[in-house]
Structure 1
Amino acid sequence: MVMAIQGVSAAIAGSVSALITMPLDTIKTRLQVLDGEDSSSY
């Protein structure tokens, strides 16, 4: 029973972490791509 609770807790923690970091990582990547496009046009 304890291992099942730990497994569910780990899954929930991983999901919350992904939901928080994925949008921030996407924004960071898009900004880096935009910076790369701007610098290559000069």
Structure 2
Amino acid sequence: MHCVKLLGQRLSARDFDYQVAEIQIRAAILSDFTALGIPRTVAIG
């Protein structure tokens, strides 16, 4: 939840459907950042 709050403390959308979409976008951004931080292990040889 802390990472979600780093993207903004409040939702800017007023309509519930738009709020749901905004949360889904934030979750997609966080998963992309997480994927960038995971190291790839490659066997050499």
The alignment's TM-score, normalised by the length of structure 2, stands at 0.50
RCO higher in structure (CA 8 A, sep ≥6):
2
Give unmatched runs, 5+ long, in structure 2: 1-13
Query: Which structure has greater helix proportion?
Result: 1
- Which structure's CA Rg is the greater one? 1
Percent identical among aligned pairs is: 11
The alignment's TM-score, normalised by the length of structure 1, stands at 0.53
CA RMSD of aligned residues (A): 1.8
* Structure 1 consecutive aligned stretches of length 4 or more whose deviation exceeds 4 Å: none
Give unmatched runs, 5+ long, in structure 1: 31-42
